[in-house]
Amino acid sequence: MVKKVSKKEAIEKIERFFSSSNFKNKTAKEIKKIKRFAMKNNIPLREKRKLFCKNCLRPFYESSIRIKNDFLTITCEYCEEKNRWRAV
Ligand SMILES: [Zn+2]
């Protein structure tokens, strides 16, 4: 039932998902699905992880981004989870 995809195809699918113009309208369910897809195909999301909340998996939308002590903090407006990354 599960179609085996090549790594190249998998990367393309993920790129398409995150660069689509309606990414902000993606649901947590869709993001969960693509995350699992990436994991299954051993594809690191890297920078793309900054596009959605690690707690509720919703795309960030007009969230407040703060940079403090070399850390980038995005507060999710849905669950108020603080997502932190080392600012590059
Ligand atoms: Zn959240």
Instruction: Flag whether 66 is in a domain.
Output: yes
Instruction: Flag whether 60 is in a domain.
Output: yes
Centre of ligand 1 from the C-alpha of residue 57, in Å: 6
Q: Say what the pTM is.
A: 0.84
Average pLDDT over the chain, rounded to an integer: 91
Instruction: Flag whether 58 is in a domain.
Output: yes
What is residue 2's predicted lDDT score, i.e. its pLDDT? 61
Centre of ligand 1 from the C-alpha of residue 69, in Å: 22
Centre of ligand 1 from the C-alpha of residue 8, in Å: 30
Q: Structurally, how many domains does the chain consist of?
A: 1
What is residue 23's predicted lDDT score, i.e. its pLDDT? 94
Instruction: Flag whether 1 is in a domain.
Output: no
CA torsion sign for 55, 72, 43, 21 is positive
Q: What whole-number distance in Å separates Cα of residue 88 and Cα of residue 85?
A: 9
Centre of ligand 1 from the C-alpha of residue 24, in Å: 13
Name the H helices within 1-88. Answer: 7-19, 28-40
Centre of ligand 1 from the C-alpha of residue 79, in Å: 4
Residue-wise pLDDT for 31-57, tens only, equals: 999 999 999 999 999 999 999 999 999
Q: What whole-number distance in Å separates Cα of residue 43 and Cα of residue 14?
A: 9
Domain extent, residue 46, equals 7-86
Instruction: Flag whether 76 is in a domain.
Output: yes
CA torsion sign for 64, 76, 58, 36 is positive
Residue-wise pLDDT for 55-88, tens only, equals: 999 999 766 788 888 998 999 989 999 999 887 6
Q: What whole-number distance in Å separates Cα of residue 54 and Cα of residue 52?
A: 6
